[in-house]
Amino acid sequence: MSEFIMLLAPANQGQGGGGGNPIMAFLPFILIIVIMYFLMIRPQSKRQKEKQKMLDALKKGDNVITMGGIHGKVVGFTDDNKTVILKIDDNVKVNVERSAITAVKSVGSKN
């Protein structure tokens, strides 16, 4: 019976059993989270800030491209300033959400 108890007892019973540093156990997870932040989360937040800055700077006369691929010229804004009125062609105006605009084309660009 004593042999059975010896098998169940921890192997380092006589060494003090201090265990390891708990921070060292979580270090790989912490490093993965830090790497994910710098490779994925931070660049995404920078792109969002740049897009918001571009959308806030929209003004009449800007040539823009929407998410749907529509090219148009900003001719106005609605009262709530969330919708942009785009002129696509002569006598064709479309209301588009401000968030649907993906790019502002330069004035000299033909594309």
Structure-block tokens of residue 90: 């002569």
* Mean pLDDT rounded to a whole number for the chain: 83
pLDDT at 109: 55
Q: Where are the domains of the chain?
A: 21-57, 59-105
- Taking the domain 59-105, which CATH number applies? 2.30.30.100
Give the Å distances, CA to CA, from 22 to 26, 29, 34: 7, 12, 18
Task: State how far the Cα of 25 lies from the Cα of 23, in Å rounded to an integer.
Answer: 5
Task: List pLDDT tens digits, range 40-90.
Answer: 999 999 999 999 999 999 999 999 999 999 999 999 999 888 899 999 999
pLDDT at 104: 94
Report which of residues 65 and 15 the model is more confident about: 65
pTM of the model: 0.62
Instruction: Say what percent of the chain tops pLDDT 90.
Output: 62
pLDDT at 22: 83
Local structure of residue 18 (DSSP, 8 states)? -
Mean per-residue pLDDT, 14-27: 71
Q: In what order do the strands lie in the sheet with 63-66?
A: 92-97, 83-89, 71-77, 63-66, 101-105
Mean per-residue pLDDT, 4-18: 50
Asked if 95 and 84 touch (Cβ cutoff 8 Å), the reply is yes
pLDDT at 10: 53
Coil/strand/helix, residue 109: coil
pLDDT at 8 over 90: no
Task: State how far the Cα of 74 lies from the Cα of 61, in Å rounded to an integer.
Answer: 5
Coil/strand/helix, residue 5: helix
